[in-house]
Amino acid sequence: MLARILLFVVCFFTMGDFAIAAEETFAEIYAELSLRMPTPTLVVVCHAFGCSHQTHIVLSAGDRARLSTLLAAGKASPAAERRALAGAVQWFERRIGPVAGTTQRVARAGAAEARDPGQMDCIDLSANNTSLLLVLMQLKLLQHHRPELPVSRGFLIDGRLPHTTAVFSEVKSGQRFAVDNWTRKYGELPEVLPLNEWRFAR
């Protein structure tokens, strides 16, 4: 499992700016995790650490309508859309939990929870949240933001364990934001904060 985490860190981490390499693409990242790209009708979600378990989630017309309703509340401004995105991530986790068996997911899952198919590490959650962001883009529900590749912080040499998050950016300003629910237990609102704040958070 550690090897997969370190692979993910290598894919996403550069020492200078904690940014992903420009040549990486969503397709390449999904290939590294043996995941198919998400569509508005099917998302493969990760769980059990390092995406070692995968569950297919079929998104119904009702699911897409719910996402449309959630994101409609964010049309007024970028700040409103970030709040709406947090709500969509919360809804998505509650939607997939009963199917994937992750309704007992704990916050900050670590070694004690490794290999438990009902738990998720940051690799699982960042992949799932990135998939949701891509679905929202495909459905044209994002007015002020666009998905970005995940980003990692911590690389052992700085005294912190590697940690990865899904990322989106504001179209007008280019500012990037982390959406991270690894620090929250199942079904809670994720943290949404500027990436430069997230990179130094504990």
Report domain extents, the chain: 2-198
pLDDT for position 115:
85
Residue type (1 letter), 2: L
pLDDT (tens, 9 = 90+) of the chain, 202 residues, equals: 333 433 343 333 332 332 333 346 999 999 999 999 999 999 999 999 999 999 999 999 999 999 999 999 999 999 999 999 999 999 999 999 999 999 999 999 999 999 899 999 999 999 999 999 999 999 999 999 999 999 999 765 455 678 999 999 999 999 999 999 999 999 999 999 999 999 988 7
Alpha carbon of 136 to those of 43, 81, 119, 123, 155: distances in Å? 12, 12, 25, 20, 31
Report in angstroms the alpha-carbon separations of 86 from 76, 80, 173, 181. 16, 10, 20, 9
- The model's pTM is 0.87
CA angle, 37 as apex, 34 and 39 as ends, to 5°? 145
For 164-173, what is each residue's pLDDT tens digit? 999 999 999 9
Separation CA 87–CA 190 (nearest Å): 8
Task: Please report the DSSP string for the chain in residue order.
Answer: -HHHHHHHHHHH--TTTS---TT--HHHHHHHTT-PPP-SSEEEEEESSTT-EEEEEEPPHHHHHHHHHHHHTTTT-HHHHHHHHHHHHHHHHHHHHHHHT-TTPPTT--GGGTT-TT---HHHHHHHHHHHHHHHHHTT--SSEEEEEEEEE--STTSS--EEEEEEEETTT--EEEEE-TTS-TTSPPEEEEHHHHTT--
Q: What pLDDT score was predicted for residue 156?
A: 54
Q: What was the pLDDT predicted at 124?
A: 97
Could you tell me how many residues make up the chain?
202
Q: Give the pLDDT confidence score for residue 20 in this predicted structure.
A: 36
Rounded to 10 deg, the angle between the 61-72 and 122-138 helix axes is 90
